[in-house]
A and B are shown apart, each in its own frame.
Chain A
């Protein structure tokens, strides 16, 4: 087996599309997981257990079942109920939803770490609940948890190839298609592996820098 640079060159157009798709999954998936995770975290602290219990149950369920199962479920079962999304949209929703159950725990820890005196000062000033959350508690919590959230983004990046399972044309799927048409798998797969390192490693350096800056 020899390394064939022309196979690398031939893979480039497909690879470019794959990178764009992977980054799109990552960006939108992160956005969903950050937002939805916050919604879960606030619901964990709802005044009534009729909110807390179901939310705990649902997030625990999603968190402890495999992402691939969830992807298949959303992709193959939802259409039977009349809900039809493209493979890419389904994949983004699934990975965002799955990771939101992790970020929810991160938010929860960050919120719990804000000193009790901050809540008490907000009460003493009669701040309304939404100001207490969004002006006082969350800015302090997010500061502490930004690095942990960053780590989940990197982890999500490494889970994006699972979307190949529902035919999303991200990097891995593109390399498989390239291999299937040329019978040269080595080059495309190697390129994809290297691409993951080139995205993930700087990202992890960034997270570490963030950690040094924000977490005191």
Chain B
């Protein structure tokens, strides 16, 4: 992995500094208030999982961080840099620290697997072609697809495409990795491979992860903190053992009961 990442056990990360901060963030789509005066923060190196019924605003949080949506009010900061409100230039800089993996992979179908991974490091970070390729090869080996570097995305299975998408996000050396229901579009037999890879990344790097998922055993494994959303608010948060084992809120119990 990257030179500046260290291998650390999750327990040692308790004292991390604050990396992501939402203050009084409200987001509406028409009359529908998806996030309602939301405040929350995540510390560096933490793995935070967002759970809750669909439409509760979990994915919107990731999309706001990725600047794919604009909040109606409130402030969002990443590593002390403002994402909102902020000028375009400031936002671009803050965004470079963030990577995202999408439910539908969103690989560029017109590029080879290798170019998918090298494009942004070359064009955005200004890496030389050789250096970017070297980094891409290492990442492809990490995700177990070293021999697929010249394939087109359409020649890969969904699970393989998603692993390339993870490699593509990591190639930018993000401080924050956003995972938006990354296994929801996969055939059941391909889910485990992707989750194992993410467990590996969670264990061996200090990348901060924000994860929206319906895979509760995965959430239990990797999370330092689980946040339960309902109707645009965090109604309960805490370590996975607490949320899954002994939830306080009635809605949390209902939700976990319904998907179990």
A contact residues vs B (CB 8 Å cutoff): 115, 117-118, 120-121, 123-128, 131, 135-136, 139-140, 143
Contact = CB atoms under 8 A, between A and B. Distances in A.
Interface string B155-194: 0000000000000110010000000000000000000000
B102 A128 contact: no
Given A117-B102, A131-B123, A124 B169 contact: yes
A124 B100 contact: yes
Contacts, number: 57
Contacts of A118: 106, 108
Contacts of B119: 125, 127, 131, 135
B11 interface: no
Contacts of A126: 92, 95-96, 120, 124, 172
Contacts of B98: 124
A-B pairs, 3 with minimum CB distance: A125-B120, A121-B106, A117-B106
Interface of B: 66-68, 92, 95-96, 98-100, 102, 104, 106-111, 119-120, 123-124, 168-169, 172
B99 A124 contact: yes
A125 B168 contact: yes
9 contacts: A120-B106, A124-B98, A124-B169, A125-B172, A126-B124, A128-B123, A131-B119, A135-B108, A139-B110
A161 to B, nearest CB: 38
A121 B92 contact: no
A134 B70 CA distance: 25
A120 B68 contact: yes
A128 B108 CA distance: 15
Contacts of B168: 125
B68 A136 contact: no
B174 to A, nearest CB: 10
Contacts of B106: 115, 117-118, 120-121
B68 A123 contact: yes
B102 A120 contact: yes
A127 B107 contact: no
Contact of B124 (A117, A121, A125, A143): A125
A127 B120 contact: yes
Contact of B110 (A117, A128, A143): A143
A143 to B, nearest CB: 7
B150 to A, nearest CB: 17
A140 B107 CA distance: 12
B258 to A, nearest CB: 29
A121 B108 contact: yes
Nearest to B100: A124
A117 B123 CA distance: 20
B154 to A, nearest CB: 9
Most buried by B among A117, A120, A123: A120
Most buried by B among A115, A121, A123, A127: A121
Contact of B67 (A123, A127, A139, A140): A123
B109 A140 contact: yes
A121 B100 CA distance: 8
Given A117-B106, A139-B110, A128 B124 contact: yes
B124 to A, nearest CB: 5
A136 B110 contact: yes
Contacts of A115: 104, 106
Nearest to B66: A124
A156 B68 CA distance: 41
A164 to B, nearest CB: 42
Nearest to B67: A123
A117 B104 contact: yes
B123 to A, nearest CB: 5
A115 B108 CA distance: 11
A143 B119 CA distance: 20
A128 B102 CA distance: 20
Contacts of A135: 108, 111, 119, 123
A140 B110 contact: yes
Nearest to A142: B110
A135 B123 CA distance: 11
